[in-house]
Amino acid sequence: MAISSVTVLKSLFAVLGCVMVLTLVYAIFTDGLPFRMDILFPWMTTTVLDFYINVLALAAWVSYKESNWISATLWIILLACFGSITTCAYILLQLMKLSTKESEGPIYDVLLCHSNKYGVVNKQKHSPVLLIARVLFTALGFLMLGTMLYTMVTDGSPFRPEIFTPWMIALVVDFYINVAALSVWVAYKESSWITAVIWIIFFICLGSITTCLYIICQLWQLTSQDPVYLALFKSGDRLSGELTKLCG
């Protein structure tokens, strides 16, 4: 029997979540708690910023996904505090909720808000949200680029053994698990696997700079009347959503 894509995704994020928990336990036992100023050397600070820009992108999806603002706030706080452990737990929870009747594909159904389960697109009149999102991720992209260049000039290359302390290793693992989640989204979004692979390589090499660039590219494909959440979906699924009848 062929293994379904849902099973593969469940296994992937369950394994990644366990890896992050073990890495966190290792860092605590070998280097103590992270709430100390001595661990915030320049490249650690830069990586923390890189990490939280990706967390912000994931938090934007969670805030759209959750129909209740209280649950959205709680999940975002958990994302900020526990990083990719929360990412894996949240994605696993969404995958567990999928029914056998889901028709658009698991990624589409996981991305879609419950209140928009029928894919309805509500056109808005000149909503400022799209403009705010474009400006925000443009600013964050330039902030991350400037921070990375500044750290390279003042502190040298990050590829030095002394930089990779237990907590730096934990942060890097945390960062790349979130990158894996974003890469699954990119693989769904891109119609060509070659384009998807190129984007994912940039995600791995440039981190949240690529995250911001990719999100900006998706946002510029929308018109001023489109809701921002359409950037989550590939064009075929957007069209499908527009043609689907509104559920009473």
Task: Spell out the per-residue pLDDT of the chain, length 248, in tens.
Answer: 345 888 899 999 999 999 999 999 999 999 998 888 888 899 999 999 999 999 999 999 999 999 888 999 999 999 999 999 999 999 999 999 886 555 457 888 888 886 654 444 555 555 688 999 999 999 999 999 999 999 999 999 999 999 999 999 999 999 999 999 999 999 999 989 999 999 999 999 999 999 999 999 999 999 888 889 999 998 766 555 443 433 33
pTM of the complete model beyond 0.85? yes
Domain limits for position 207? 5-242
Residue 89: name the closest of 28, 154, 17, 137 by CA: 17
In a domain, 155, yes or no: yes
In a domain, 203, yes or no: yes
In a domain, 248, yes or no: no
In a domain, 224, yes or no: yes
Residue 110 and residue 94 in contact, taking contact as beta carbons nearer than 8 Å: yes
Structural domains in the chain (count)? 1
In a domain, 247, yes or no: no
In a domain, 40, yes or no: yes
Dig out the tokens for 16 from the structure.
Answer: 């990644």
